[in-house]
């Protein structure tokens, strides 16, 4: 596989291979974390990787929603929250600098519609909501990573490429502040 270009590897085949392995869900979590680290690098814009990344976001989200914490030993939860927080800060930086057309703030419909990042932010915010709901350690982790809550709140701007992000920010803030007075106080002091 190392000698083949990444475009020749079918992402669905890779997911099916990993989901059938005896090491599930560990493989899915590890692949997601590796792709998350890979996506943080701004030189790695690639539609194939982005499609696989988005598919993994949904798999991980479904895993945490459906397992009802019966099988979760929280081995991966804090690590994924940490990496997602760093990634959201990086997305905020890219949007602030208008770094790439996938991350612009669109007040008009983009020429290429839908963009590969259409509703990506809402998927990331929903995953963070799922991971932080009723988990104080995860809620605190987001607050402790400098700039994450500010980056989350910046996604409330109207963006035609991210139409659901405002509603997802509202839900995430509810998940972050429920039974967490420190997060409430932190958000109150943001100007």
CA angle 41, 145, 134 (to 5 degrees): 115
Find the length of the chain. Answer: 191
**Domain edges within the chain:** 6-188
pTM of full prediction above 0.85: no
> For residues 171 and 165, what is the distance between their CA atoms, to the nearest angstrom?
10
**Taking the chain (191 residues) in consecutive chunks of 10 residues, what is each chunk's mean pLDDT?**
46 57 66 74 72 85 74 75 91 90 89 90 95 93 94 93 95 95 94 69
Residue 126: per-residue pLDDT:
96
């Amino acid at each position: 596989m190392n000698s083949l270009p990444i475009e020749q590897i079918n992402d669905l085949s890779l997911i099916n291979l990993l989901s059938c392995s005896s090491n599930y869900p560990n493989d899915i979590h590890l692949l997601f974390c590796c792709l998350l680290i890979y996506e943080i690098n701004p030189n790695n814009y690639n539609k194939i990787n982005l499609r696989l990344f988005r598919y993994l976001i949904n798999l991980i989200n479904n895993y945490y929603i459906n397992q009802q914490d019966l099988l979760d030993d929280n081995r991966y939860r804090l690590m994924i929250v940490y990496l997602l927080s760093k990634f959201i800060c990086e997305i905020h930086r890219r949007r602030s600098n208008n770094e790439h057309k996938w991350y612009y703030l669109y007040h008009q419909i983009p020429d290429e519609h839908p963009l590969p990042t259409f509703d990506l932010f809402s998927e990331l915010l929903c995953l963070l909501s799922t991971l932080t709901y009723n988990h104080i350690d995860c809620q605190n982790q987001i607050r402790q990573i400098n700039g994450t809550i500010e980056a989350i709140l910046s996604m409330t701007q109207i963006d035609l490429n991210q139409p659901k992000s405002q509603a997802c920010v509202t839900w995430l803030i509810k998940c972050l502040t429920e039974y967490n007075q420190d997060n409430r106080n932190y958000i109150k002091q943001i100007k």
